[in-house]
Structure 1
Amino acid sequence: MTQPTHAIEITRENGVLTITINRPERKNALTPAMYEAMNEALASAHEDASVRVVLLRGQPGIFTAGNDIEDFLKTPPTGNDSPVMRFLYAIAGAEKPLVASVAGAAVGVGTTLLLHCDMVYAADTASFAMPFAQLGLCAEAASSLLLPRIAGHQLAAEKLLLGEMFDAAEAHRMGFVNRVLPAAELDAFVAAQLAKLVALPASSLHVTKAFMKRASQHEIKARISAEAVQFGEMLRMPEAREAFTAFLQKRKPDFRQFDGAPDGAERGTRNASRPSDVQAVS
């Protein structure tokens, strides 16, 4: 059965709860209402004993372009109870296996959410980017913690600091994509992997995943929170305003205008938190 809600389609079939992002007119960009729908689906999956596995996918031919920038600027997330924060905590703490099927672009949170999935399969047409620095922001979804652990510091730094697009083969080499398949074969392969998982004892899946996550669970949630505090500070800084304005005006941002500018009130904004402040939060 399929339940469409705010461009999120929820399907339960053969032990799999599938969350499909379906907003093609905006490249599957995410809004608070869409995050809320996914939160409800994840909570439902947790409570439903017939659900063994959760699948995240995009439709058609794209995963997600990340947050809807226009919507994001109108209603930026505030506090741990915002829909996006509850979504990040939910995927970080999910007890049942999370599988992602990525066809097309996965941008921003579209990439960072994959770091919380247990298995990620991508089409050879998939692409990935974490352009937070390009937007005058910082990493989110605990990506500053998880990506260096998965890929190593240098590769993680290249992707998080430059924010450039990279392909599925590179994502596989980095270690957060399990396998890359021809686009025409992706759905069938993922379905076969899901069937294997569903055939296993639910208790085995649950306990094995719990042991895999136990040592890092608190640290991951603390980093999500710390990054969110920093992210919120930087969102109010002039560099971020320039980056978002340039994006909407379809031009390159000019960050040189801020070179040598004093911090704080003289720049018309609050100071961003220093690393010591972030450490205190985490």
Structure 2
Amino acid sequence: MNDLIQSHQRNGLLTLTLNRPDKLNALTNGMYNQLADLLFAAGEDPSITAIIITGGEQCFTSGNDLKDFLQDPPTQLNSPAFRFMDAVIQLDKPLIAAVCGAAIGIGTTLLLHCDQVLVTRNAKLRMPFVNLGLCPEFGASLLLPRLIGHTQAARLLLWGDGLDGTQAVALGLANEVFEDGPECLNAAQQLAEQLIALPRDALLHTKRLLKQPVLQELKDTLRRENLLFMERLKSTEAKTLLEAMLARSAAKG
């Protein structure tokens, strides 16, 4: 199995670690597909009770790998990135995110679907969709205003403002802030172990009940966002901005 996603299962806990540190854990189509496969399988596996997703001690994810993204953009609703989103939305087991360092784009919108979000003080959360000529994804246009209010959501989605770990907790996008990566990852492990010690059926029923009221509305929103996202990718505006960003990245080496 591709080691860009490390999968470790023990005592009811599945830990998924993005493992592309040289590229700041930028996500490729292959990584999205692998994450989707692992999450779909975890949902069906009775030996798994809880899941942690992390990028390790230094960086959660810098978002999409731009070169891969521009060479093979999503063109269908079952494209790899959208499969990953679907796998997360369908997951009926607790999901904990341990966010150390940067969490850009989908690195932040993913957090809206997690049951606990732990961050380091130096975490950098940002959703620069408009800045890149795109639109929100992963249900952010629905979930973010409900979580933090319209005006705060507008600052993050329209202006593309960023947040550090302390600000993310204050705003309600994360639960706890930690000084460094090891402390954050250890706390996520402890939270997961607490869940696994609870009555399993009651835990999973409660997780399903928490998701149910918004599930259909979320699926409808996701479809609208994804259709518009694919349309925006074809626009001159987005192509120009994304290619310029890729060129700047290449110039930096």
TM-score by length of 1: 0.85
What's the secondary structure of 1:95's corresponding residue? coil
Matching residue of 1:263: none
Return the offset for 1:165: 2.2
Code of the residue aligned with 2:213 in structure 1: it is A
- Whether the aligned pair in 2 keeps the contact of 1:22 and 1:60 (CA below 8 Å) is no
| Structure 1 counterpart of 2:236 | 238
Is 2:79 aligned against 1:85? Answer: no
2:59 equivalent among 59, 62, 81: 62
- Matched to 2:12, the amino acid is G
2:200 alignment counterpart: 202
Q: Which residue does 2:35 correspond to in 1?
A: 38
Structure 2 residue 138 is the aligned partner of structure 1 residue 141? yes
Q: Is the 8 A contact 2:57 2:185 kept in 1?
A: no
Contact persistence 2:102–2:125 (CA under 8 A): yes
Task: Name the aligned partner's letter for residue 168 of structure 1.
Answer: G
Deviations 1:233-252 (A, max 9, x none): 1111111012112212329x
C-alpha displacement at 1:60, in angstroms? Answer: 4.3
> Take 1:235 and 1:56, find their aligned partners in 2: how far apart are those partners?
28
Match of 2:220 in 1: 222
Size of the aligned set, in residue pairs, is: 248
Q: How does 1:99-248 map to 2 (within 5 A)?
A: 99-183=96-180, 184-248=182-246
Of structures 1 and 2, the larger Rg is shown by 1
Unaligned runs of 5+ in 2: none
CA-atom RMSD, angstroms?
1.3
Q: Deviations over 1:129-175 (max 9, x none)?
A: 00000000000001010000001001100000111321111111221
Change in 2 beyond 3 A, CA 1:131/1:139: same
Aligned letter for 2:109? T
Higher RCO structure (Cα 8 Å, ≥6 apart): 2
Aligned equivalents of 2:170, 2:149: Cα separation in 1: 11
- Quick check: 2:52–2:188 contact (8 Å CA) kept in 1? no
TM-score (norm 2): 0.95
In structure 2, what is the equivalent of residue 17 of structure 1?
Answer: 14
Distance 2:185 2:133 in 1: 36
* C-alpha distance in structure 2 between counterparts of 1:48 and 1:62, whole Å: 29
Q: Matched residue of 1:188: which SS?
A: helix
SS of 2:248's equivalent in the other structure is coil
SS in 2 for 1:96: coil
Q: Is the 8 A contact 2:118 2:174 kept in 1?
A: yes
Secondary structure at 1:122 match in 2? strand
Q: Is the 8 A contact 1:133 1:162 kept in 2?
A: yes
**3-state DSSP class of the match of 2:36?**
helix
Distance of 1:237 and 1:135 partners within structure 2 = 11
Q: 1:84 & 1:6 partners in 2: Cα distance?
A: 18
Q: Secondary structure at the match of 2:112?
A: helix
Q: State how far apart, in whole Å, the 2-side matches of 1:84 and 1:151 are.
A: 25
The farther-off stretch of 242-251 and 114-123 is: 242-251
Give 5+ residue unaligned stretches, structure 1. Answer: 252-282
Q: Distance in 2 between matches of 1:151 and 1:239?
A: 29
Q: Which runs of 4+ in 1 moved over 6 A?
A: none
Work out the percentage of aligned pairs sharing the same amino acid.
41
Return the offset for 1:6.
Answer: 4.9
Paired residues of 1:17 and 1:51 also in contact (CA < 8 A): yes
